[in-house]
Amino acid sequence: MAAPGIAGIKALVFDVFGTCVDWRGSIAREAEAAARKIGVALDGAAFADAWRANYQPSMERVRGGAREWTILDVLHRETLEALKPRFGLAALDAAASDDLNRAWHRLDPWPDTVGGLARLKRQFVISTLSNGNTALLVNMAKRAGLPWDCVLGAEAFQRYKPQPEVYLGAASLLGLRPEAVMMVAAHNGDLAAAQALGLRTAFVLRPTEHGPGQKTDLRPAGDWDFTARDFSDLADQLRV
Amino acid sequence: MAAPGIAGIKALVFDVFGTCVDWRGSIAREAEAAARKIGVALDGAAFADAWRANYQPSMERVRGGAREWTILDVLHRETLEALKPRFGLAALDAAASDDLNRAWHRLDPWPDTVGGLARLKRQFVISTLSNGNTALLVNMAKRAGLPWDCVLGAEAFQRYKPQPEVYLGAASLLGLRPEAVMMVAAHNGDLAAAQALGLRTAFVLRPTEHGPGQKTDLRPAGDWDFTARDFSDLADQLRV
């Protein structure tokens, strides 16, 4: 299939964790600072990886119906609690743990994110399409200066990506047919789910999302409409 | 009750039609232009008033359960169709009618709206809380430069204000207790519903929303936390 053009694309919806923001570096830094306050020397990157490792399993129980709808802030907090002993953080009290949990609201954007989004916003409706809860996404955007037109995600639909209600629900709320919406993500799996439902797809390389030894999502694994080095490159390709 | 202070307010949620934008003047202008194209001299203000007069009745059928969930774009379009003969617009074809219906996506802000919101956004999360559907609100914001942090409204909850799910659902999505959220509206009824659920309230005067002979909402009819002449005055009172 020849790559379709830009014609007809009205909205870009973005995966957030990893695609827009560097969760690993941000969480590592905040976790090390929190540990330091209680006199613990923490390997922040290993801690961030462990926290994130329970991301999919914790959502999978909700997706499968083993657990009723639960927002990501709560899933994150439970995982943190479970990890504390393993990383020597048993002395981290409830208030400090709550604050560290909210580090997910304070993730730093990649260097190209804010400028790239500002360019893309000139031509397209730009929205999140994330498994993060709304408050997390709103707080993150305000701190980082992410200029969303709209904040959409799992919570509005009480489903977690890649469940189809999230992608189709976003198109519906934006008043658009799926083919007028392009999913932008650094993850082939997210794009595959979107493409199967008729959305367009843009793969953005984030080769250090998981650190220097990253092995996944280093290249496009599907016939995506666009593949870009970063958001500036995507804006170039979309001619904005 | 003494007026509570600012302490603890984290988010401001705004009624949109009338509070942020001048629907009457905008619709009058667009309707006159559409009529002119088919050779009809229309009283745009009378037409706008007639269109808006069916706003509450059309939502009331949805609220009461006589009709399943239906977005405002559809309710507006049906009202327009019903009004066409009465205003000599029977010759307005489907494409022109669809375009005129989308005039509700192109309403102009009051002169103080954009600057006031920009100030308020420095200190608070600012969101819509409107009966408009999401696409309408997003398109309006993009055209008018309304700098929302978040676009919330009836559609996300499939309920129309003043149904409580809309106010409480917004607080929940923002991760806040009702008392940390302040409803900003030019309509006493909207504020009464919000206050009964524990939200704070700010009344903003829009004495010409319904034209020069406006008789409703010319003064605060409740014990609201703030009463302001416009968004600049509200920003002054909130010290941002």
pLDDT at residue number A33: 98
pLDDT higher than 50, residue A81: yes
pLDDT at residue number A4: 52
Place A2 in a pLDDT band, splitting at 50, 70 and 90.
very low
For residue B66, give every residue at least 6 positions away whose Cβ sits within 8 Å of its Cβ, in sequence order, or none.
Answer: none
Are B73 and A175 within 8 A, CB to CB? yes
pLDDT at residue number A75: 98
| A128: β partners | A14, A151
Are A175 and B133 within 8 A, CB to CB? yes
Helix (H, G, I), strand (E, B) or coil at A57: helix
Taking the CA of residue A16 and the nearest CA in chain B, the distance in Å comes to 16
What is the average per-residue pLDDT within A51-62? 98
For residue A4, give every residue at least 6 positions away whose Cβ sits within 8 Å of its Cβ, in sequence order, or none.
Answer: A200, A225
pLDDT higher than 50, residue A149: yes
Taking the CA of residue B156 and the nearest CA in chain A, the distance in Å comes to 7
CB A150 within 8 Å of CB A174: yes
Chain B: residue whose CA lies nearest to A102 = B175
For residue B167, give every residue at least 6 positions away whose Cβ sits within 8 Å of its Cβ, in sequence order, or none.
Answer: B129, B161, B178, B181, B183, B193, B194, B197, B199
| A200: β partners | A182
> What is the topology classification, in CATH, of domain A24-105?
DNA polymerase; domain 1 (1.10.150)
Q: Given A135, A155, A174, which is nearest B134 (Cβ)?
A: A174
pLDDT at residue number A6: 86
Residue appearing with tokens 């190209």: A112
Question: For chain A, which residues make up each domain, given as ranges?
Answer: 11-22+107-237, 24-105
Among A130, A149, A181, the residue to mutate for chain B (most B Cβ within 10 A) = A149
pLDDT higher than 60, residue A1: no
Q: What is the pLDDT of residues A208-228, one digit of tens each?
A: 999 999 999 999 999 999 999
Q: Given A125, A136, A138, which is nearest B125 (Cβ)?
A: A138
pLDDT at residue number B6: 86
Residue appearing with tokens 């390997």: A43
The type of residue at A135 is: A
CA distance linking residue B215 with residue B188, whole number of Å = 13
Residue B108 CA: distances (Å) to CA of B17, B23, B105? 10, 7, 9
Angle between helices A164-173 and A188-196 (to 10 degrees): 70
CA distance linking residue A184 with residue A190, whole number of Å = 9
Q: Given A134, A173, A175, which is nearest B150 (Cβ)?
A: A134
CB A90 within 8 Å of CB A84: yes
Helix (H, G, I), strand (E, B) or coil at A235: helix
Count contacts between A and B (CB, < 8 Å).
Answer: 54
What is the average per-residue pLDDT within A100-110? 98
Distance of CA A78 to the CA centre of its chain: 19
Residue A184: enclosing H or E segment and its boundaries?
strand A181-185
pLDDT at residue number B71: 98
Are B138 and A174 within 8 A, CB to CB? yes
Write out chain B residues lying below 8 Å of A125, CB-based: 138-139, 142
Integer-rounded Cα Rg, in Å, for chain A is 18
Q: Which numeric CATH code is attached to B23-105? A: 1.10.150.240
Residue appearing with tokens 């100030």: B119
Peptide bond into A162 cis (omega under 30): yes
Q: What is the pLDDT of residues B151-163, one digit of tens each?
A: 999 999 999 999 9
Q: Given B125, B134, B173, which is nearest A173 (Cβ)?
A: B134
Place B211 in a pLDDT band, splitting at 50, 70 and 90.
very high
Among B73, B150, B159, the residue to mutate for chain A (most A Cβ within 10 A) = B150
pLDDT at residue number A73: 98
Mean confidence (pLDDT) of chain B: 97
CA distance linking residue A200 with residue B14, whole number of Å = 33
What is the average per-residue pLDDT within B82-110? 98
Among B173, B176, B240, the residue to mutate for chain A (most A Cβ within 10 A) = B173
What is the average per-residue pLDDT within A172-198? 98
The closest of B70, B142, B131 to B106, measured between CA atoms, is B142
What DSSP letter does each residue of chain B carry, written as one string?
A: -PPP-STT--EEEE--BTTTB-HHHHHHHHHHHHHHHTT----HHHHHHHHHHTHHHHHHHHHTTSS----HHHHHHHHHHHHTGGGT-TT--HHHHHHHHGGGGSPPBPTTHHHHHHHHHHHSEEEEEESS-HHHHHHHHHHHT---SEEEEHHHHT--TTSHHHHHHHHHHTT--GGGEEEEES-HHHHHHHHHTT-EEEEE--TTTT-TT--SSSS--S--SEEESSHHHHHHHTT-
| DSSP designation for A3 | P
Q: Say what the pTM is.
A: 0.96
Percent of chain A with pLDDT over 70: 98
Question: Exposed, middle or buried: residue B175 (CB in 10 Å: 0-12, 13-18, 19+)?
Answer: buried
pLDDT higher than 70, residue B32: yes
Taking the CA of residue A135 and the nearest CA in chain B, the distance in Å comes to 5
| DSSP designation for A55 | H
pLDDT higher than 60, residue B223: yes
What is the average per-residue pLDDT within A164-169? 98
Give ipTM to 2 decimals: 0.95
Place B146 in a pLDDT band, splitting at 50, 70 and 90.
very high
pLDDT higher than 50, residue B3: no
Residue range A11-22+107-237 in CATH 1.10.3720.10: no
